[in-house]
Amino acid sequence: MKVRSTGFSATFTINSKGNIMYYVYDQRGNIKQFSELVNGSNFKTQFTFDEDNRPKDITFNATNKVNIVTPNQAQQ
């Protein structure tokens, strides 16, 4: 199932074990959020991108953040 709204789209799937996976995409088609409901527990991963559409960071379950540094950014 795909749902459209202003500026983003979302899809979800249900696997054979009944777990729900939910994907949200930004206007550029980048994955903005991935959520998975497993045995009643929700796990959320969020992604951000810079103005040049490069991955900037990933946040796991709202507390663990990983910053992505490209080779060009590391030299600055």
pLDDT of residue 75: 55
> How do the pLDDT tens digits run along the chain, 76 residues long?
444 445 678 899 998 988 899 999 988 889 999 999 888 889 999 999 988 888 899 998 878 888 888 766 655 5
pLDDT value for 59: 93
23: enclosing H helix or E strand:
strand 20-25
pTM: 0.69
Token pair, residue 20, equals 């729900």
Give, for 38, the enclosing helix (H) or strand (E): strand 31-38
